[in-house]
Structure 1
Amino acid sequence: MMERNRTMMQFFEWHLPADQKHWARLEERAKELKDAGIGAVWVPPVTKGQSAEDTGYGVYDLFDLGEFDQKGTVPTKYGTKEELENAIKACHDAGIHVYVDVVMNHKAGADETERFAVVEVDQNDRKKVISEEPFEIEGWTKFTFPGRKGKYSDFEWRFQHFNGTDFDAKEDRTGIFRIEGEYKNWNDNVDDEFGNYDYLMFANIDYRHPKVREEVIKWGKWMAETLDCDGYRLDAIKHIDHNFVDEFSKEVVEERGDDFFFVGEFWVSELEPCANMIEETNGRIHLFDVPLKYNLFSASQEGAKYDLSKIFEGTVVANYPQNAVTFVDNHDTQPGEALESFLADWFKQSAYALTLLRKDGYPCVFYGDYYGIGGDEPVDPKKEAIDPLLYSRLHKAYGEQVDYFDHPNTVGWIRKGTAEIERSGCAVVINNSEEGGEKHMCVGEERAGEKWVDMLNSREEIIEIGEDGCATFPVNAGSVSVWALPEQDVKEPDPEADRKSALMQELVQEVKQELKDEIKQELMGELKQEVEETVEHKTSEADADKKDLKKEIKREAKREIKKELKKELGKDDKENKKK
């Protein structure tokens, strides 16, 4: 049996409530997601953050998955370890893979401070030292994990395990401070933005340190085995030594098997650095297609001025299709967040068509698009717009792909389908102008005579495929249509049949109304009779009660009168005796 297209969902957004119920939500929705066409979920960081509300990116303890009382809470923002395990099991039972978000660039929420020597560097050029000489600061770099008490790992973190921090508690000031020491420096094999982008935030982990490398690899293997997850999403890897990313992924794959999946957040909009990252990790790491994301964003902002025929230029999916995870938005690009570049509503469905219905790339649907976004800038869900695309990906988007990217405002492509999946194949047309458009495309002579409909219900026409296997497929202005063979055959419109059908419907409604009025009158009559009988019955009961009450009063009165008469008679008898 042919494997169906797999779709990933990022199962969180930034403003989820800190109610510790998110793992329970995932467990509850697993089957629903599978039915919708979701084959994998990327879940937020499962490790203990620096507070009960932490999203997980301010990671405190890698070995606490919501099990220990630390940072004022046992569960993470999303729930307990047991609830997480239950959610993963529910996903596996439904046939859904689970990818865990891994944060291994930094640590936050240290238990104690330490004093150590640093130099301060320029925030815009991390290679440039701006302090005259090394000086001592007091930094939050000592992690002892008192709540865990050495379970799973007795490794404790000290300043020697980091190469930078951003706060001096002694002077109560911020900056970027590079920690001094033998062999201490920024890692070289990182992104070159700001001269060297090794440092991002909090206490920056030093992957030059052999014990650090050993501990993090040990943890990566432990968590994959403990949770029985299917892959990792690696956070912020442009800030981590690329050689270590390769080593980490290689070690985990050797432990868990070649099917263990890795996707990295490598937030660079140019193709060349992405290509280098893929090659440096021997193709083991997939990358989120950030260049495509920014192309989609530009298209949503520029409208008809954007040339849709060039939307895949310079993207990961066009050049490294086997390593591309395509996406439209995520928790960092949603409104108000660090990388805000949220697509305009009018283009959102078209963008999802460009990721979900192509032969290349592993598409990811954003929770915030599907279920909506909370917080101060709430966004309505787009589930109704995305579901028919998920359906089309699961049932229609198979077989050879032919592109018709030959117009700046109207583009299209066809998927010829496969005999292994009945009624598969589709024709997609996207437009970004105010006039709408159409695209003449060929789906194959074997499809001649088939009647195709718009799976998105944007258009009502029925398109018949010509004898040459071609047809002209229309699309509304600033919209998308997905034409395909429906699950049941459709007939051409018949005006006379439609007129008779409409007349029949009208007559049916009239008859229903007449019957309704008759039944209403009958019911009202029955109800009136019941009321009258009830009143009559109650009246009869009241009369009977009245008679009984009179009898009782008479009896009581007789008793009282007899008593009084006896008293009177007794008095008279005594008087007579005296006389």
Structure 2
Amino acid sequence: MRLSALVLAVAFAGTAAVPAAGAVRDPAPAAAPVAGPIVQLFQWPWDSIAQECRGTLGPKGFGAVQVSPPQEHVILDGENHPWYQDYQPVSYQLESRRGNREQFAAMVSACNDAGVEIYADAVVNHMAASDAVGSAGTAHTKYDYPGLYGDADFSDCRRDIANYDDQWEVRNCELLGLADLKTGSDHVRSTEIGYLNDLIGLGVSGFRVDGVKHMPPEDVGAIFGALDAVPGTGAKPYVFQEVIADQTTSAGEYSGNGDVTEFGYHHVVSDAFKDGSLAQLANLPDQVELPGDQAVVFIDNHDTQRSEPTLTYKDGAAYDLANAFMLAYPYGTPQLISGFAFDDPDAGPPADSEGRTSPASCSDEAWVCEHARPVIAGMAGFHQEVRGADLVNWWDDGAGRIAFGRGDAGFVVLNREDAAVEQQTFQTSLPAGTYCDVMSGELQDGSCTGGTAEVGEDGTFTTSIRGVSGIALHTGAKLS
């Protein structure tokens, strides 16, 4: 199936505004992220995301959902529909195994109405690697995607990257056989801008940009700097870029285009909660490259879960505590993941016999729903409540137990040790009163559904914390 006239018109709508290749560009806007954390609902269908926004994400204080790539993708039925087929675009029609254009638009509207923004995973570096048929029925061959791109739209280096120490190769040769687009060309830029503006027109508020280190920074800036404002807000979309930094590519090279994923944070914090050495996290900003206001941080994402699984949902309480730390500590914009259970790292999501993704539900054990775990769900509201407050009252035991406050708005204690903390007194800057522990419950109808803590006039409280557990208090969950 070829692109419809409507989709073609959308795809080329941005031509007049696109910066010419080689022209001096204005920096892409660094729009502010939402107050609440981002949760990546990895491979969730559109209808299921709409339900989750209304039922859980909005009420719990999550700020945005990162959705999987919405464009038409290749169908790899001979490989049992692996998760990565979605990252191989065939066209920019909104027809994927997660739903169609109408379902996508309805999902965006439902989430926005629930106070949850939608950030789409944008694949703009490449097209599909194989000769096949796409999820909307588009037949294609490598370097020929009907009505969209032809041979001249792809880089001249038509082989896999052989030397990752060569920056030119990394940016111009092919990643795992994927057809590398000439993102410096006017035609490619205008086509991608048209696709992204189509998503913005449907209410999408931001983008996670895939594979950014494989594109020159000026190309990324030219594309994402030319996007429309989000309807009803007057603001440019929030942009954060996937950059796996190494000795050839630094995260800072791309920070002028928007926020950047700080993979160094993942290594430092995930390692600490894996082996229990939490005291070292007191000076966390000194151990990573980016300033906090430019960084998107995570404990794990869909790639690290599969390629370097330091800490994942399979690690239970230690994983939950690591995410609690991320949501409490004042560095970066936190991004959570909520996906599906897997043993095979290539496995796709639960699906029917034709590879179309099954409805996602937290009552179905096939979907892990990390975001709905009590500790993580409770800390989403904590993060929103303490936003902008300074780190205060740090305490540690030199090993696996830490505590710290966020101004006079919140306080958290984390115990990574197996042994309990017995009747320890902590100094906070909280106002006196009775607080709900949001790691074990919430404030509901004037009472706490979980544990409580009594903060005295001097700002102290005394409590016991069982092994591999914690307590979190904030002023939004304080009894009257």
Whether the TM-score (by the shorter chain) exceeds 0.5 is yes
Residue 392 (structure 1) shift: 2.9
Contact 1:308 1:409 in 2 (8 A): no
Distance 1:489-1:221 versus aligned 2 partners, 3 A rule: closer
Cα distance change of structure 1 residues 105 and 85 upon mapping to structure 2, 3 Å threshold = same
- Give the Cα separation in 2 of the matches to 1:244 and 1:233: 16
Gaps of 5+ in 1: 17-21, 67-75, 113-138, 167-175, 179-185, 418-424, 491-579
Q: Partner of 2:394 in structure 1?
A: 404
Structure 1 runs of 4+ aligned residues shifted over 6 Å read 269-272
Give the distance between the partners of 1:215 and 1:486, measured in 2 at CA: 46
Is 1:37 aligned to residue 37 of structure 2? no
Change (3 A) 1:271 1:177: closer
Verify the 8 A CA contact 2:436 2:479 in the aligned structure 1: no
Q: Map 1:386-401 to 2 at 5 A.
A: 386-395=376-385, 399-401=389-391
Pick from 317, 329, 338 the counterpart of residue 346 of structure 1: 317
Change (3 A) 1:410 1:274: same
Classify 1:415/1:306 alpha carbon distance in 2 versus 1 (closer, same or farther; 3 Å). closer
- SS for the counterpart of 1:481 is strand
Would the alpha carbon gap of residues 46 and 433 (structure 1) be closer, same or farther in structure 2, given more than 3 Å must change?
Answer: same
The separation in 2 between residues aligned to 1:431 and 1:465, in whole angstroms, is 20
Quote the Cα distance in structure 2 between the aligned partners of 1:248 and 1:363: 25
Structure 2 vs 1, CA of residues 161 and 308 (structure 1 numbering), >3 Å: closer, same or farther? closer
1:299 matched to 2:277? The reply is no
Whole-angstrom CA distance in 2 between matches of 1:403 and 1:488: 19
Q: Which residue of 1 aligns with 2:114?
A: 94
Q: Deviations over 1:456-478 (max 9, x none)?
A: 249x9864434433345543333
Query: 1:91 offset after TM fit, Å?
Result: 1.2
Does the 8 Å contact 1:271/1:291 carry over to 2?
no
Q: Which residue of structure 1 lines up, in the alignment, with residue 35 of structure 2?
A: 5
Within the alignment, does 1:241 sit opposite 2:216 as a pair?
yes
Letter in 2 for 1:156: Y
CA change 1:440–1:24 in 2 (3 A) is same
Q: Which has the higher contact order (CA 8 A, sep 6+)?
A: 2
SS at match of 1:309: helix
> d(CA) in 1 for partners of 2:50 and 2:385?
25
Aligned residue runs from structure 1 range 244-323, under 5 A: 244-252=219-227, 257-268=234-245, 273-278=250-255, 282=256, 284-304=257-277, 307-315=280-288, 319-323=290-294
Q: Decide whether aligned partners of structure 1 residues 80 and 480 sit closer, same or farther in structure 2, where only a CA change above 3 A counts.
A: same
Is 1:163 aligned to residue 156 of structure 2? yes
Rounded Cα–Cα distance in structure 1 between residues aligned with 2:210 and 2:440: 38
1:309 and 1:408 in contact (8 A); partners too: no
- Aligned-partner SS, 1:197: helix
| CA distance 1:353–1:103, shift in 2 (3 Å) | same
Q: Taking structure 1 as reference, are residues 397 and 302 closer, same or farther at Cα in structure 2, changes over 3 Å only? A: same
CA deviations on 1:192-216 (whole Å, 9 max, x unpaired) are 4688422313111233444333433
Distance change in 2, residues 1:269/1:390 (3 Å): farther
Letter matched to residue 91 of structure 1: C
Question: Following TM superposition, by how much is the alpha carbon of 1:162 offset from its aligned partner in structure 2, in angstroms?
Answer: 2.5
Higher helix share: 1
Larger Rg: 1
Hey, what's the Cα distance between the residues in 2 that align with 1:482 and 1:385? 9
Find out whether 1:415 has 2:406 as its counterpart: yes
TM-score by length of 2: 0.71
Among 411, 417, 427, the alignment partner of 1:442 is: 427
Structure 1: distance between partners of 2:374 and 2:247: 33
Match of 2:125 in 1: 105
Alpha-carbon distance, 1:240 to partner? 0.9
The one-character-per-residue Cα deviations of 1:8-55 (angstroms, maximum 9, x if unpaired) are: 111115xx6xxxxx1111222221121122221111001111117464
Q: Which amino acid in the other structure matches residue 365 of structure 1?
A: L
Tell me which amino acid in the other structure corresponds to 1:480: G
| Contact preservation (8 Å) 2:323, 2:376 | yes
CA change 1:230–1:484 in 2 (3 A) is closer
TM-score normalised according to structure 1 size: 0.60
- Mapped to 1, the partners of 2:400 and 2:69 lie a distance apart of 40
Q: For residues 433 and 30 of structure 1, do their structure 2 counterparts lie closer, same or farther at Cα, with a shift above 3 Å needed?
A: closer
Aligned: 1:25 with 2:25: no
Match of 2:438 in 1: 455
Structure 2 unaligned segments of length 5 or more: list them: 1-32, 133-139, 346-365, 442-449
CA distance in 1 between partners of 2:395 and 2:227 (Å): 41
1:362 counterpart residue number: 333
For structure 1, which segment, 359-368 or 262-271, has the greater mean C-alpha deviation from structure 2 after superposition?
Answer: 262-271
Alpha-carbon distance, 1:286 to partner? 1.0
- 1:259 is paired with a residue whose SS is coil
Partner of 2:349: none
- Per-residue CA deviation, residues 337-370 of structure 1 (Å, 9 max, x unaligned), is 23443333232122112221234422222113xx
Which amino acid in structure 1 is aligned with residue 48 of structure 2? Answer: R
Q: CA deviation at 1:272?
A: 8.6
The DSSP-based 3-state class of the residue aligned with 2:236 is: coil
Q: CA deviation at 1:489?
A: 4.3
Q: Is the 8 A contact 1:47 1:63 kept in 2?
A: yes
Structure 1, residues 239-269: CA drift from partner, whole Å, max 9, x if none?
A: 1111101111211157975431101111227
Other-structure match for 1:469: 459
Given that 1:165 and 1:177 are in contact with CA atoms closer than 8 Å, whether structure 2 keeps it comes out as no
Structure 2 letter corresponding to 1:61? V
Matched, 1:219 2:195: yes
Quick one: which amino acid aligns to residue 63 of structure 1?
A: Y
| Other-structure match for 2:29 | none
